[in-house]
């Protein structure tokens, strides 16, 4: 059973989920694709210091693809033309470099597929049974493909993704735009809704959007970092929020952290 001190999500008007790292372990695929692409790029351009895993969390995680590219290159004092989303992956522009990474990601996803986190599926089942509307709010342009691959697409009437964000010129997380737009599309008030995120920029986005409850999922970012970013509550897995029997009976719930008032 879930800890009695944890919030009852059915008391809120809606729950809006980030995708990568919250519903599916695609964050690992993204991390691998970014690392592969940037290590090759840094070697070809003699860029120092080398790419590290920390770069993913500091510059890429949760952001729109091209904004992430620009942020990481800027951290190495490298500036290239922005280009256009239609740029060939071989183009040495922000968009071309972003498209280069996406080729790697898509190749891995199609070859290996993706399986949703069991705890996340259990929570979706519970929310659906309670009649609580849900949406996906993702910076990824691959959100639709990932949801279909994981067998989750039919669960959501609203998918606010990177394609819509680019079309409507919405600012990347940590700006509140995408979460606020997701709530608008779902027809709910952020002040009566829940946002669930695993990225620092995503938590900051939801907090800035005025969501009543911001839940951080610690898949490696760090509990302290998520709380500092604005999470009211941090869990290791969404199974901890399921009120029925947990799909992960051996999960250690002692690490659940609540943000001080």
| Alpha carbon distances (Å) from 246 to 16, 120, 222, 227 | 21, 11, 23, 24
State the Cα–Cα distance between residues 42 and 51, nearest whole angstrom.
Answer: 8
3-state secondary structure of 80: coil
The reply to whether 161 belongs to the active site is no
Q: Considering only CA atoms, which of 217, 30, 212 is closest in space to residue 225?
A: 217
- Length of the chain equals 261
Alpha-helical (H) ranges within the chain are 26-45, 53-55, 65-75, 94-112, 118-130, 143-149, 162-167, 177-186, 200-208, 223-229
The reply to whether 218 belongs to the active site is no
Looking at 20, 55, 87, 237, which residue is catalytic? 20
State the Cα–Cα distance between residues 132 and 205, nearest whole angstrom.
Answer: 22
Looking at 4, 8, 13, 18, which residue is catalytic? 18
Active-site amino acid positions: 18, 20
């Amino acid at each position: 059973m879930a800890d009695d001190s944890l919030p009852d999500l059915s008391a809120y008007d809606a729950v809006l989920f980030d995708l990568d790292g919250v519903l599916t372990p695609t964050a690992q695929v993204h991390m691998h694709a970014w690392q592969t692409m940037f290590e090759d790029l840094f070697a070809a351009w003699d860029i120092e210091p080398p790419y590290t895993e920390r770069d993913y969390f500091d510059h890429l995680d949760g952001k729109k693809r091209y904004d992430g590219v620009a942020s990481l290159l800027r951290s190495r004092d490298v500036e290239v033309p922005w280009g256009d989303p239609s740029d060939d992956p071989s183009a040495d522009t922000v968009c071309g470099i972003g498209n280069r990474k996406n080729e790697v990601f898509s190749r891995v996803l199609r070859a290996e597929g993706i399986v949703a986190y069991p705890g996340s599926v259990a929570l979706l089942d519970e929310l659906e049974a309670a009649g609580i509307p849900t949406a996906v709010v993702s910076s990824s342009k691959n959100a639709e493909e990932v949801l279909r691959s994981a067998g989750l697409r039919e669960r959501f009437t609203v998918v606010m993704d990177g394609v819509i964000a680019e079309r409507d010129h919405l600012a990347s997380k940590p700006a509140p735009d995408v979460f606020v737009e997701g709530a608008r599309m779902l027809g709910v008030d952020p002040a009566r809704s829940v946002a669930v995120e695993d990225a620092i920029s995503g938590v900051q986005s939801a907090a800035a959007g005025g969501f009543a409850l911001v839940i951080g999922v610690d898949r490696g970012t760090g509990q302290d970092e998520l709380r500092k970013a604005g999470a009211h509550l941090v869990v290791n897995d969404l199974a901890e929020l399921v009120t029925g029997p947990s799909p992960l009976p051996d999960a250690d719930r002692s690490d659940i952290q609540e943000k001080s008032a």
